[in-house]
Structure 1
Amino acid sequence: MKKYLGALLALPMLVFAQQSERVTAQQFVDLQQGQNAHEGFRRAHAKGICVTGEFRSNGSLTDYSNAAVFNKGAHPFVGRFSIAGNNPSAPDLKAPVRSLALSFATSAAQQWRIAMNTPPVMAVSDPHTFYQQIKAIQSGTIAEFFAEHPESADFIAWKDNYQPSGSFAAEQYHSINAFYLTKDNGDKQPVRWAMRPTVNVANTSFDGDDALQNELTERLTSGPVIFDWVFTLATSEDDENDPAVGWPESREQIVAGQIAINDWQKQLNGDCHEINYDPLVLPDGIEATRDPILRARSAAYAESYRRRAVEVFNGAFEEQQND
C-alpha cells in the first residue's frame, strides 16, 4: 500500500497558538490515541463502515457557488459512517457521537472532502481550549470544564436534548464549521450544512458491538439510504469563524438535493479506508473561513493519516484485510 504514504512522511510539525500557549497536531493525536494505539486505524473515529452512493443535485446552489458538485445531476461519492473514539472494536451504541464523511472527485484536480458529526456546534472556539476539553473528558472533569466555559452553552443545550437513534440512517449530521460558497465574480456566502434524515428509527433491533453497522447493511438490502442536504445561509449578524455558536433557526435554508447511499463495504476492504477526510480539501466554489478549529481539525486528520499510513506500509492488519 505504498500509495498510502506519498508526501505525508514529510509533513511538518503543525502548531496552533492561543495567545502564548501552543498546541501541536502531534499533541492532539497523542491525546486521542492514548497509550495503546490501534495500528493502521484512525486515531479518532477509528470504527467505521464504508459506503458509496451519489448526490442528486437539484441545481439550487448554482447561484451561490460554481462548485461542479452543485450542478444539476448525479455526483458519485465514497463515504464512511463512524462512531467516536479510538477503538475500532468499540460497541456502536455506546458512542456519544456518530459521524458521516463524504469524498467527491469531480475531476483529478477538483476534490471535496467532507467530515460531519451529530453535534451541530463545537463546545469551544479555539484549538487550545479544545485540547483542554479532551483532557477534561479523559480525566473525568468535564462538568467542571463546562462550568468554566460559558461558550459551551449551545453545545450543552444540544447534548442535553440529544437522543441517539437506532440507525446511522436516522441521524442528522452537521458540518459544525462554516464555509463560504463562492462565485467567480467574487460573491461569497457563509454557510453551514446538515444531512437531514428521511427516516425515523427510535431503537435498533440489532444487538452486539456492531449493532449500527448491522442495521445499516440490512437496511440497504431494501433500497438506498436517503438524506436531504440542507444549507443554512448566514447573515451579517452571524460569526462564521466561531464554531461554538449556533445560528438562529430563522436563517434561510436551501435544500441542495439528496444524498443516496446505495452500497457498503467493510472499512478495511472499502475505498474509504485510504481516504483522509480532511475538511480543508475543497474544490473551486468552496472556501474555508478563518475558524481556527477548522484548521486544527485538518492538521490533526493529517497527522493521524500520516501515522496510520506508515503502519499500513509496514504491514499492519494485512491478515484482517484478507478476511
Structure 2
Amino acid sequence: MEQIHKEDLTPKEAVDALEQIQGKFPGARRAHAKGDMYEAVFHPNGNAVPYTVAPHLHREAVSATVRFSNSPPNPASIDYLTPAKGLAVQFQLADGSITNIVSSTVPMFVTSSPREFIDMIEIFTDEKTGIKTIDRGLAMVELLSKKYPHSKNVIQIIKEQAKQPPISYAELHYYPIHAFYFVNKDGVRQAIKYEWVPVNETKDPALTSKSLSANYLTEELDNRLNQAPVEFDLVIRLAEDGDNPNDATDMWPEERRKVNIGRLEIKNKIHHKEDIVFDPTIVPEGIELTDDPILHFRSGAYAESYERRSKNE
C-alpha cells in the first residue's frame, strides 16, 4: 500500500486506506459494513433538562432508527470473529431534522489523531508486516502495542472481548467514545459522554463459537424481538476537572457522576437501504461539538463513504 505522508489527512485518503484492509465491497459501508436496521422509539425521562435544551432529550418520545453492526468493512464478516460491535441511533426530531449517536463496544478510540489511525491501518495492510483480513487482526495486536504504547488500554480491551463471543447485541454496553457539550437554557455548558446500557443482561458464560452460525447475533436478536422489545438506557457521564473532552482516548474515571436520561425501545426489524448516514456531528440546539479531531474528521469520512456506496463502488 502506498504510504500517505501528508500531515493533513483527507477523507478520500482515509477511505482509500480502509479499502485496503479487505478490499472493496461495492454498495457497502467502508467500516461496520455488516449490519441490520430496526425501528425504535426513544423515551426521554426529563433528567437531561437541567443540562440541555436538546428537544429529543426532554420529555416527548421520538422515533428512531437503530443499526447494529460488526466493525469490519466486509459485509460477510463472521459475528464471533469480530470483537468490536456497533450501535448507531438516528433520532427523528419533531421539526423534521435528525441527530445521531454512534457507538461501539470499545469505550475509547485507539488514537486521538486521524493521521495515526490511518498509520495503524497501514500496519495491517503492509505486504511485509500486515495481514489482509481484520478477522485475524488480533495477530497484529502485539505489534501495535509496541509501536503505539499509548494505545495499549484499548488494545487490551479488544483482546479481552475476543476471548468470549457476546451472547447478544441486546446485552452489550455501547460507548459513543466522543464527548459532547450539553448547553442548558441559561447557556451553561457541561461536557458529557454517553453510554447505552442494556436493560436486560444475563451474561451467559456458556456461549462458545463452536455452536454459533456466522450470523448468530442477528438471528438471536430477531428471535428476541419476536418475544418483546429490546431496551437500552441512555446514560450520560458528567465531566469534572481533569477530564479531557477533546481526546477520544480519554475514558474518564468510573466514579464520575452518571445520569440516566431516557430509554431506547427497539421494536422490529426494518429492511432499509444503506442510505442512512449516521454522522455524529449532526447535533441540534442544546448540544455542541468538542474540539476532538477524530469527531470532526468523521463527517467528511462518512460523506466520502456514502458517495462511494451510493454509486455502488
TM-score by length of 2: 0.87
Q: How many residues align?
A: 291
Answer whether contact 1:78 1:103 (CA < 8 A) is retained.
yes
How big is the shift at 1:243? 0.7
Answer whether contact 1:125 1:151 (CA < 8 A) is retained.
no
Q: Return the alpha-carbon distance in structure 2 between the equivalents of residues 177 and 295 of structure 1.
A: 10
Cα distance, 1:110–1:183 mapped onto 2, change above 3 Å: farther
Pairwise mapping of residues 225-264 of structure 1 onto structure 2 (< 5 A)? Answer: 225-264=230-269
Amino acid at match of 1:295: H
Query: CA-to-partner distance for each residue in 1:252-301, whole Å, 9 max, x for gaps?
Result: 00011211101113xxx326x21100111111111110000111222211
Q: Return the alpha-carbon distance in structure 2 between the equivalents of residues 210 and 160 of structure 1.
A: 21
Counterpart for residue 14 of structure 1: none
SS of the aligned residue for 1:152 comes to helix
Q: Return the alpha-carbon distance in structure 2 between the equivalents of residues 109 and 289 of structure 1.
A: 25
Q: Return the alpha-carbon distance in structure 2 between the equivalents of residues 149 and 65 of structure 1.
A: 37
Answer whether contact 2:84 2:158 (CA < 8 A) is retained.
no
**Equivalent residue in structure 2 for 1:136, among 117, 123, 127:** 123
Counterpart for residue 134 of structure 2: none
How big is the shift at 1:137? 3.2
Q: Return the alpha-carbon distance in structure 1 between the equivalents of residues 23 and 147 of structure 2.
A: 31
Counterpart for residue 270 of structure 1: 272
TM-score by length of 1: 0.84
Q: Return the alpha-carbon distance in structure 2 between the equivalents of residues 164 and 107 of structure 1.
A: 39
- Return 5+ residue gaps in structure 1 as ranges: 1-16, 317-323
Pairwise mapping of residues 93-172 of structure 1 onto structure 2 (< 5 A)? Answer: 93-108=80-95, 110-138=97-125, 139-140=130-131, 141-162=140-161, 163-172=164-173
Cα distance, 1:27–1:75 mapped onto 2, change above 3 Å: same
Counterpart for residue 13 of structure 2: 27
Amino acid at match of 1:228: D
Amino acid at match of 1:240: P
SS of the aligned residue for 1:73 comes to coil
- Computed over aligned residues only, the root mean square deviation of the Cα atoms, in angstroms, reads 2.1
Amino acid at match of 2:245: E
Q: Tell me the percent identity.
A: 33
Q: Return the alpha-carbon distance in structure 2 between the equivalents of residues 170 and 120 of structure 1.
A: 15
Answer whether contact 2:52 2:182 (CA < 8 A) is retained.
yes
Answer whether contact 2:181 2:289 (CA < 8 A) is retained.
yes
Answer whether contact 2:105 2:173 (CA < 8 A) is retained.
yes
SS of the aligned residue for 2:311 comes to helix
Deviates most, 137-146 or 79-88: 137-146
Answer whether contact 1:114 1:277 (CA < 8 A) is retained.
yes
Pairwise mapping of residues 27-46 of structure 1 onto structure 2 (< 5 A)? Answer: 27-34=13-20, 36-46=23-33
How big is the shift at 1:161? 3.5
